[in-house]
A and B are shown apart, each in its own frame.
Chain A
Protein backbone atom coordinates (compact mmCIF):
# COMPACT_ATOMS: atom_id res chain seq x y z
CA UNK A 1 0.00 0.00 0.00
CA UNK A 2 1.36 3.48 -0.87
CA UNK A 3 0.64 6.78 0.83
CA UNK A 4 -1.82 7.52 -1.97
CA UNK A 5 -3.96 4.52 -1.10
CA UNK A 6 -4.22 4.47 2.68
CA UNK A 7 -5.17 6.71 5.56
CA UNK A 8 -2.06 8.30 7.08
CA UNK A 9 -1.85 8.53 10.86
CA UNK A 10 0.95 9.42 13.24
CA UNK A 11 2.51 6.09 14.15
CA UNK A 12 1.82 4.53 17.51
CA UNK A 13 4.40 5.44 20.14
CA UNK A 14 5.57 8.59 18.35
CA UNK A 15 5.95 11.70 20.48
CA UNK A 16 5.26 14.94 18.64
CA UNK A 17 5.30 18.46 20.04
CA UNK A 18 4.93 21.86 18.42
CA UNK A 19 7.65 24.27 19.52
CA UNK A 20 7.71 27.91 18.45
CA UNK A 21 6.38 27.35 14.95
CA UNK A 22 8.32 24.16 14.40
CA UNK A 23 7.89 20.61 15.56
CA UNK A 24 9.94 17.87 17.14
CA UNK A 25 9.02 14.22 16.79
CA UNK A 26 10.52 11.21 18.50
CA UNK A 27 10.02 7.82 16.86
CA UNK A 28 10.98 5.03 19.27
CA UNK A 29 10.51 2.29 16.68
CA UNK A 30 13.22 3.69 14.42
CA UNK A 31 15.21 5.66 17.00
CA UNK A 32 14.86 8.93 15.15
CA UNK A 33 14.49 12.50 16.34
CA UNK A 34 12.92 14.62 13.63
CA UNK A 35 12.64 18.41 13.44
CA UNK A 36 9.74 19.55 11.27
CA UNK A 37 8.89 22.92 9.84
CA UNK A 38 5.42 24.42 10.15
CA UNK A 39 4.12 22.79 6.95
CA UNK A 40 5.31 19.35 7.96
CA UNK A 41 3.69 19.83 11.37
CA UNK A 42 0.45 20.63 9.64
CA UNK A 43 0.61 17.40 7.67
CA UNK A 44 1.08 15.49 10.91
CA UNK A 45 -1.84 17.26 12.51
CA UNK A 46 -4.09 16.38 9.60
CA UNK A 47 -2.90 12.77 9.50
CA UNK A 48 -5.38 11.43 12.04
CA UNK A 49 -6.26 8.19 10.28
CA UNK A 50 -9.62 9.46 9.05
CA UNK A 51 -8.37 11.34 6.00
CA UNK A 52 -6.82 9.91 2.90
CA UNK A 53 -3.64 11.42 1.50
CA UNK A 54 -5.74 13.06 -1.18
CA UNK A 55 -8.01 14.65 1.40
CA UNK A 56 -5.00 15.93 3.33
CA UNK A 57 -3.68 17.40 0.11
CA UNK A 58 -7.01 19.16 -0.52
CA UNK A 59 -6.98 20.74 2.92
CA UNK A 60 -3.38 21.87 2.61
CA UNK A 61 -4.05 23.33 -0.83
CA UNK A 62 -6.79 25.45 0.68
CA UNK A 63 -4.54 26.66 3.48
CA UNK A 64 -1.36 27.44 1.55
CA UNK A 65 -0.64 29.55 -1.48
CA UNK A 66 0.34 27.90 -4.70
CA UNK A 67 -2.50 25.53 -5.26
CA UNK A 68 -2.83 21.79 -5.31
CA UNK A 69 -0.61 21.16 -8.28
CA UNK A 70 2.32 22.97 -6.68
CA UNK A 71 2.28 21.17 -3.33
CA UNK A 72 1.23 17.73 -4.52
CA UNK A 73 4.75 16.48 -5.01
CA UNK A 74 5.97 17.96 -1.72
CA UNK A 75 3.22 16.27 0.26
CA UNK A 76 3.71 12.91 -1.43
CA UNK A 77 7.45 13.02 -0.90
CA UNK A 78 7.04 13.99 2.74
CA UNK A 79 4.53 11.23 3.40
CA UNK A 80 6.78 8.62 1.79
CA UNK A 81 9.76 9.71 3.88
CA UNK A 82 7.67 9.97 7.04
CA UNK A 83 6.40 6.43 6.54
CA UNK A 84 9.92 5.15 5.96
CA UNK A 85 11.09 6.92 9.13
CA UNK A 86 8.35 5.38 11.26
CA UNK A 87 6.75 8.76 11.84
CA UNK A 88 3.55 7.99 9.97
CA UNK A 89 1.83 4.71 9.27
CA UNK A 90 -1.01 3.89 6.90
CA UNK A 91 -4.33 2.45 7.81
CA UNK A 92 -6.28 0.45 5.32
CA UNK A 93 -9.54 1.59 6.76
CA UNK A 94 -10.66 4.58 8.82
CA UNK A 95 -12.37 2.17 11.25
CA UNK A 96 -9.03 0.76 12.39
CA UNK A 97 -7.90 1.87 15.82
Chain B
Protein backbone atom coordinates (compact mmCIF):
# COMPACT_ATOMS: atom_id res chain seq x y z
CA UNK B 1 0.00 0.00 0.00
CA UNK B 2 1.60 3.23 -1.13
CA UNK B 3 0.04 6.49 -0.06
CA UNK B 4 0.69 9.27 -2.51
CA UNK B 5 -0.53 12.82 -2.70
CA UNK B 6 0.63 15.91 -4.55
CA UNK B 7 1.07 18.31 -1.68
CA UNK B 8 3.04 20.90 -3.57
CA UNK B 9 0.52 22.26 -6.06
CA UNK B 10 -0.59 25.78 -5.29
CA UNK B 11 -4.06 27.05 -6.00
CA UNK B 12 -4.78 30.42 -7.46
CA UNK B 13 -2.33 32.85 -8.92
CA UNK B 14 -1.00 36.19 -7.91
CA UNK B 15 -2.44 36.14 -4.46
CA UNK B 16 -2.51 34.17 -1.26
CA UNK B 17 -5.01 33.86 1.51
CA UNK B 18 -4.39 36.22 4.40
CA UNK B 19 -2.24 34.37 6.90
CA UNK B 20 -3.76 36.03 9.93
CA UNK B 21 -7.32 37.05 10.61
CA UNK B 22 -6.61 40.73 11.16
CA UNK B 23 -9.59 42.49 9.73
CA UNK B 24 -9.90 46.18 9.17
CA UNK B 25 -12.74 47.91 10.98
CA UNK B 26 -15.69 48.23 8.64
CA UNK B 27 -17.64 50.97 10.35
CA UNK B 28 -18.49 53.83 8.05
CA UNK B 29 -16.95 57.05 9.21
CA UNK B 30 -19.13 59.44 7.28
CA UNK B 31 -19.31 61.01 3.86
CA UNK B 32 -16.28 63.19 4.52
CA UNK B 33 -14.13 60.14 3.77
CA UNK B 34 -15.35 60.01 0.21
CA UNK B 35 -12.92 61.27 -2.38
CA UNK B 36 -15.59 63.28 -4.18
CA UNK B 37 -19.05 63.13 -5.72
CA UNK B 38 -18.37 61.59 -9.10
CA UNK B 39 -19.77 58.25 -10.26
CA UNK B 40 -18.69 55.73 -12.89
CA UNK B 41 -20.20 52.42 -13.98
CA UNK B 42 -17.84 49.68 -15.14
CA UNK B 43 -19.33 46.79 -16.99
CA UNK B 44 -17.81 43.47 -15.98
CA UNK B 45 -18.66 40.90 -18.59
CA UNK B 46 -22.19 40.03 -19.56
CA UNK B 47 -24.22 40.53 -16.44
CA UNK B 48 -22.34 42.42 -13.78
CA UNK B 49 -21.67 46.11 -13.38
CA UNK B 50 -19.58 47.94 -10.82
CA UNK B 51 -21.05 51.28 -9.79
CA UNK B 52 -18.38 53.36 -8.10
CA UNK B 53 -19.48 56.44 -6.18
CA UNK B 54 -17.49 58.93 -4.16
CA UNK B 55 -14.87 59.37 -6.87
CA UNK B 56 -12.82 62.50 -7.26
CA UNK B 57 -12.93 64.22 -10.62
CA UNK B 58 -9.50 62.89 -11.45
CA UNK B 59 -10.38 59.33 -10.50
CA UNK B 60 -13.54 59.53 -12.60
CA UNK B 61 -11.55 60.88 -15.52
CA UNK B 62 -9.02 58.05 -15.24
CA UNK B 63 -11.73 55.41 -15.26
CA UNK B 64 -13.37 57.18 -18.19
CA UNK B 65 -10.20 56.55 -20.16
CA UNK B 66 -10.33 52.80 -19.57
CA UNK B 67 -12.06 50.38 -21.91
CA UNK B 68 -14.63 49.19 -19.47
CA UNK B 69 -16.75 52.25 -18.71
CA UNK B 70 -20.26 51.58 -19.87
CA UNK B 71 -23.66 53.18 -19.62
CA UNK B 72 -25.70 51.86 -16.75
CA UNK B 73 -26.96 48.40 -17.60
CA UNK B 74 -30.40 47.71 -16.19
CA UNK B 75 -30.10 43.95 -16.74
CA UNK B 76 -26.88 43.59 -14.83
CA UNK B 77 -26.16 42.77 -11.23
CA UNK B 78 -24.99 46.12 -9.97
CA UNK B 79 -22.29 46.03 -7.34
CA UNK B 80 -22.38 49.31 -5.44
CA UNK B 81 -18.98 50.50 -4.35
CA UNK B 82 -18.16 53.52 -2.21
CA UNK B 83 -14.67 54.87 -2.79
CA UNK B 84 -13.08 56.36 0.32
CA UNK B 85 -9.82 57.77 1.52
CA UNK B 86 -7.60 55.22 3.20
CA UNK B 87 -6.88 55.90 6.84
CA UNK B 88 -3.24 55.57 7.98
CA UNK B 89 -3.72 52.07 9.38
CA UNK B 90 -5.40 50.90 6.19
CA UNK B 91 -2.63 52.49 4.17
CA UNK B 92 -0.12 50.51 6.20
CA UNK B 93 -1.91 47.28 5.41
CA UNK B 94 -2.15 48.15 1.73
CA UNK B 95 1.59 48.66 1.58
CA UNK B 96 2.14 45.37 3.36
CA UNK B 97 -0.23 43.41 1.12
CA UNK B 98 0.72 45.11 -2.08
CA UNK B 99 4.43 44.64 -1.67
CA UNK B 100 4.48 41.77 -4.13
CA UNK B 101 1.78 43.23 -6.35
CA UNK B 102 -0.43 40.35 -5.38
CA UNK B 103 -3.91 40.20 -3.99
CA UNK B 104 -4.81 38.89 -0.59
CA UNK B 105 -8.24 38.20 0.62
CA UNK B 106 -9.99 36.74 3.57
CA UNK B 107 -13.56 35.61 4.01
CA UNK B 108 -15.39 35.88 7.31
CA UNK B 109 -19.13 35.47 7.84
CA UNK B 110 -20.12 36.28 4.29
CA UNK B 111 -17.86 39.31 4.00
CA UNK B 112 -14.59 39.49 2.15
CA UNK B 113 -11.68 41.70 2.83
CA UNK B 114 -9.58 42.16 -0.27
CA UNK B 115 -6.27 43.95 -0.29
CA UNK B 116 -3.73 44.69 -2.96
CA UNK B 117 -1.47 47.38 -4.25
CA UNK B 118 -3.18 50.70 -3.60
CA UNK B 119 -6.41 49.47 -2.10
CA UNK B 120 -8.19 47.70 0.70
CA UNK B 121 -11.85 46.73 0.33
CA UNK B 122 -14.61 44.96 2.17
CA UNK B 123 -17.25 43.21 0.08
CA UNK B 124 -20.59 42.22 1.55
CA UNK B 125 -22.74 39.69 -0.28
CA UNK B 126 -26.31 39.10 0.90
CA UNK B 127 -29.82 38.65 -0.49
CA UNK B 128 -29.88 42.27 -1.65
CA UNK B 129 -26.81 41.79 -3.78
CA UNK B 130 -23.19 42.81 -3.44
CA UNK B 131 -21.96 46.05 -1.88
CA UNK B 132 -18.45 47.14 -1.12
CA UNK B 133 -16.37 49.84 0.47
CA UNK B 134 -13.13 50.53 -1.32
CA UNK B 135 -10.39 52.44 0.46
CA UNK B 136 -7.54 53.77 -1.60
CA UNK B 137 -4.77 56.30 -1.29
CA UNK B 138 -4.36 56.59 -5.05
CA UNK B 139 -5.91 59.30 -7.11
CA UNK B 140 -3.79 59.42 -10.18
CA UNK B 141 -2.09 57.22 -12.71
CA UNK B 142 -1.98 53.51 -13.16
CA UNK B 143 -1.94 52.76 -9.45
CA UNK B 144 -5.57 53.81 -9.15
CA UNK B 145 -6.87 52.12 -12.30
CA UNK B 146 -4.87 48.95 -11.51
CA UNK B 147 -6.31 48.93 -8.01
CA UNK B 148 -9.86 49.17 -9.35
CA UNK B 149 -9.14 46.52 -11.95
CA UNK B 150 -7.70 44.05 -9.46
CA UNK B 151 -10.58 44.65 -7.10
CA UNK B 152 -13.09 44.19 -9.92
CA UNK B 153 -11.63 40.81 -10.80
CA UNK B 154 -12.37 39.54 -7.31
CA UNK B 155 -15.87 41.01 -7.33
CA UNK B 156 -16.57 39.46 -10.68
CA UNK B 157 -15.49 36.02 -9.50
CA UNK B 158 -17.86 36.36 -6.55
CA UNK B 159 -20.75 37.53 -8.71
CA UNK B 160 -20.40 34.71 -11.20
CA UNK B 161 -20.63 32.06 -8.51
CA UNK B 162 -24.44 32.09 -8.01
CA UNK B 163 -24.96 31.88 -11.78
CA UNK B 164 -23.47 28.42 -12.40
CA UNK B 165 -20.29 29.95 -13.72
CA UNK B 166 -16.62 29.64 -12.96
CA UNK B 167 -13.93 32.18 -13.64
CA UNK B 168 -10.90 30.48 -15.11
CA UNK B 169 -7.38 31.80 -15.49
CA UNK B 170 -6.96 30.65 -19.07
CA UNK B 171 -6.57 31.48 -22.73
CA UNK B 172 -9.70 31.06 -24.88
CA UNK B 173 -9.47 31.08 -28.65
CA UNK B 174 -12.17 30.70 -31.27
CA UNK B 175 -11.71 27.88 -33.78
CA UNK B 176 -12.76 27.81 -37.43
CA UNK B 177 -15.92 26.01 -36.34
CA UNK B 178 -16.96 28.95 -34.16
CA UNK B 179 -16.39 27.07 -30.93
CA UNK B 180 -13.96 27.95 -28.20
CA UNK B 181 -10.86 26.08 -27.13
CA UNK B 182 -9.78 26.71 -23.56
CA UNK B 183 -6.12 26.44 -22.62
CA UNK B 184 -5.28 26.37 -18.95
CA UNK B 185 -2.34 25.73 -16.70
CA UNK B 186 -0.21 27.41 -14.07
CA UNK B 187 1.69 30.60 -14.74
CA UNK B 188 4.38 29.92 -17.32
CA UNK B 189 2.55 26.98 -18.89
CA UNK B 190 2.02 28.86 -22.15
CA UNK B 191 -1.34 30.63 -22.09
CA UNK B 192 0.05 33.85 -23.50
CA UNK B 193 2.10 31.87 -25.99
CA UNK B 194 -1.07 30.20 -27.25
CA UNK B 195 -2.68 33.64 -27.49
CA UNK B 196 0.20 34.87 -29.63
CA UNK B 197 0.08 31.75 -31.81
CA UNK B 198 -3.67 32.16 -32.26
CA UNK B 199 -3.34 35.75 -33.34
CA UNK B 200 -0.52 34.84 -35.74
CA UNK B 201 -2.80 32.19 -37.23
CA UNK B 202 -5.63 34.68 -37.73
CA UNK B 203 -7.73 33.32 -34.90
CA UNK B 204 -9.72 35.40 -32.46
CA UNK B 205 -8.60 35.32 -28.83
CA UNK B 206 -11.39 35.90 -26.34
CA UNK B 207 -8.92 36.45 -23.54
CA UNK B 208 -5.55 35.11 -22.52
CA UNK B 209 -6.14 36.20 -18.94
CA UNK B 210 -9.56 35.40 -17.48
CA UNK B 211 -12.54 33.65 -19.05
CA UNK B 212 -15.87 32.52 -17.67
CA UNK B 213 -17.17 28.99 -18.10
CA UNK B 214 -20.94 28.76 -17.89
CA UNK B 215 -22.82 25.50 -17.55
CA UNK B 216 -25.88 26.06 -19.72
CA UNK B 217 -29.35 24.57 -19.47
CA UNK B 218 -28.73 22.11 -22.28
CA UNK B 219 -25.79 19.77 -22.17
CA UNK B 220 -23.04 22.18 -23.00
CA UNK B 221 -20.60 24.64 -21.56
CA UNK B 222 -20.18 28.11 -22.97
CA UNK B 223 -17.59 30.77 -22.40
CA UNK B 224 -17.37 34.49 -22.65
CA UNK B 225 -14.64 36.98 -21.97
CA UNK B 226 -14.21 39.83 -19.53
CA UNK B 227 -13.25 43.40 -20.26
CA UNK B 228 -9.73 42.45 -19.21
CA UNK B 229 -8.63 40.25 -22.02
CA UNK B 230 -4.92 39.93 -21.45
CA UNK B 231 -2.37 40.71 -24.14
CA UNK B 232 -4.17 39.30 -27.18
CA UNK B 233 -7.89 39.61 -26.59
CA UNK B 234 -10.12 42.37 -27.97
CA UNK B 235 -10.41 45.67 -26.15
CA UNK B 236 -13.68 47.09 -24.91
CA UNK B 237 -16.48 46.27 -22.56
CA UNK B 238 -18.66 44.63 -25.21
CA UNK B 239 -16.55 41.48 -25.24
CA UNK B 240 -19.46 39.41 -24.03
CA UNK B 241 -20.21 37.00 -26.87
CA UNK B 242 -21.14 33.55 -25.62
CA UNK B 243 -19.57 30.61 -27.41
CA UNK B 244 -19.80 26.84 -26.94
CA UNK B 245 -16.65 25.22 -25.61
CA UNK B 246 -15.28 22.43 -27.81
CA UNK B 247 -12.40 21.24 -25.64
CA UNK B 248 -10.18 22.00 -22.67
CA UNK B 249 -6.42 21.70 -22.94
CA UNK B 250 -3.99 21.65 -20.05
CA UNK B 251 -0.79 23.14 -21.37
CA UNK B 252 2.71 21.71 -21.12
CA UNK B 253 5.64 23.07 -23.03
CA UNK B 254 7.63 20.46 -24.89
CA UNK B 255 9.80 19.72 -27.88
CA UNK B 256 7.01 18.25 -29.98
CA UNK B 257 3.30 18.80 -30.44
CA UNK B 258 1.21 16.10 -28.87
CA UNK B 259 -2.34 15.80 -27.57
CA UNK B 260 -3.33 13.04 -25.20
CA UNK B 261 -6.33 12.44 -22.93
CA UNK B 262 -6.15 13.99 -19.50
CA UNK B 263 -6.91 11.87 -16.48
CA UNK B 264 -10.03 13.17 -14.75
CA UNK B 265 -8.38 13.80 -11.40
CA UNK B 266 -5.61 15.81 -13.05
CA UNK B 267 -8.11 17.72 -15.17
CA UNK B 268 -10.14 18.57 -12.09
CA UNK B 269 -7.14 19.58 -10.02
CA UNK B 270 -5.77 21.61 -12.91
CA UNK B 271 -9.01 23.51 -13.37
CA UNK B 272 -9.33 24.09 -9.64
CA UNK B 273 -5.82 25.49 -9.57
CA UNK B 274 -6.84 27.97 -12.27
CA UNK B 275 -10.12 29.08 -10.65
CA UNK B 276 -8.83 32.19 -8.88
CA UNK B 277 -10.44 33.56 -5.73
CA UNK B 278 -13.12 30.85 -5.67
CA UNK B 279 -10.52 28.18 -4.93
CA UNK B 280 -9.51 29.99 -1.75
CA UNK B 281 -13.02 30.72 -0.58
CA UNK B 282 -13.90 28.72 2.51
CA UNK B 283 -17.23 26.98 2.42
CA UNK B 284 -17.56 26.44 -1.30
CA UNK B 285 -14.51 24.37 -2.15
CA UNK B 286 -16.52 21.16 -2.46
CA UNK B 287 -19.12 22.92 -4.60
CA UNK B 288 -16.36 24.31 -6.81
CA UNK B 289 -15.02 20.80 -7.39
CA UNK B 290 -18.55 19.60 -8.22
CA UNK B 291 -19.07 22.44 -10.65
CA UNK B 292 -15.77 21.85 -12.40
CA UNK B 293 -16.51 18.14 -12.51
CA UNK B 294 -19.77 18.95 -14.27
CA UNK B 295 -17.80 20.95 -16.83
CA UNK B 296 -15.58 17.91 -17.37
CA UNK B 297 -18.66 15.70 -17.86
CA UNK B 298 -19.65 17.91 -20.77
CA UNK B 299 -16.39 18.93 -22.39
CA UNK B 300 -13.45 16.65 -23.26
CA UNK B 301 -10.13 17.51 -21.68
CA UNK B 302 -6.64 16.87 -22.94
CA UNK B 303 -3.02 17.48 -22.22
CA UNK B 304 -1.50 19.61 -24.96
CA UNK B 305 2.25 19.33 -25.05
CA UNK B 306 3.39 21.86 -27.54
CA UNK B 307 6.20 23.84 -29.02
CA UNK B 308 5.45 27.39 -30.10
CA UNK B 309 4.75 26.93 -33.79
CA UNK B 310 1.62 27.21 -35.91
CA UNK B 311 1.36 23.47 -36.53
CA UNK B 312 0.03 23.12 -32.99
CA UNK B 313 -3.40 24.13 -34.32
CA UNK B 314 -3.68 20.97 -36.41
CA UNK B 315 -3.50 18.95 -33.22
CA UNK B 316 -5.86 21.23 -31.34
CA UNK B 317 -8.47 21.30 -34.09
CA UNK B 318 -8.30 17.56 -34.74
CA UNK B 319 -9.15 16.73 -31.14
CA UNK B 320 -11.71 19.53 -30.84
CA UNK B 321 -13.55 18.29 -33.93
CA UNK B 322 -14.25 14.94 -32.24
CA UNK B 323 -16.42 16.48 -29.57
Which residue of chain B is the closest to A13 with respect to CB atoms?
B282
Contact B280 A64 (CB under 8 A): no
Contacts of A65 in B (CB 8 A): 1
Contacts of B269 in A (CB 8 A): 24, 33-35
Task: Give B187 Cβ to nearest chain A Cβ, in Å.
Answer: 14
B1-24 contact mask (Cβ, 8 Å, vs A): 1 or 0: 111111101111000110000000
- Mark the stretch among A1-9, A47-55, A66-74 that contacts chain B: A66-74
- Mark the stretch among B37-45, B249-257, B285-293 that contacts chain A: B285-293
Task: Give B16 Cβ to nearest chain A Cβ, in Å.
Answer: 6
| Assembly CA distance A65 to B1 (angstroms) | 7
Contact A33 B264 (CB under 8 A): no
B4 contacts which of A40, A66, A70 (Cβ < 8 Å)?
A40
B283-319 contact mask (Cβ, 8 Å, vs A): 1 or 0: 1111111100100000000000000000000000000
Contact B265 A32 (CB under 8 A): no
Contacts of B282 in A (CB 8 A): 12-13, 28-29
Contact B7 A85 (CB under 8 A): yes
Contact A33 B11 (CB under 8 A): yes
Give the bracket for the number of chain A residues in contact with chain B. Answer: 35 or more
Task: Give B292 Cβ to nearest chain A Cβ, in Å.
Answer: 9
Contacts of B6 in A (CB 8 A): 34-36
A44-88 contact mask (Cβ, 8 Å, vs B): 1 or 0: 000000000000000010001110001100110110011011000
Contact B285 A14 (CB under 8 A): yes
| Assembly CA distance A37 to B7 (angstroms) | 12
Task: List residues of chain A with CB under 8 Å of any chain B CB.
Answer: 12-17, 19-20, 22-24, 26-37, 39-40, 43, 60, 64-66, 70-71, 74-75, 77-78, 81-82, 84-85
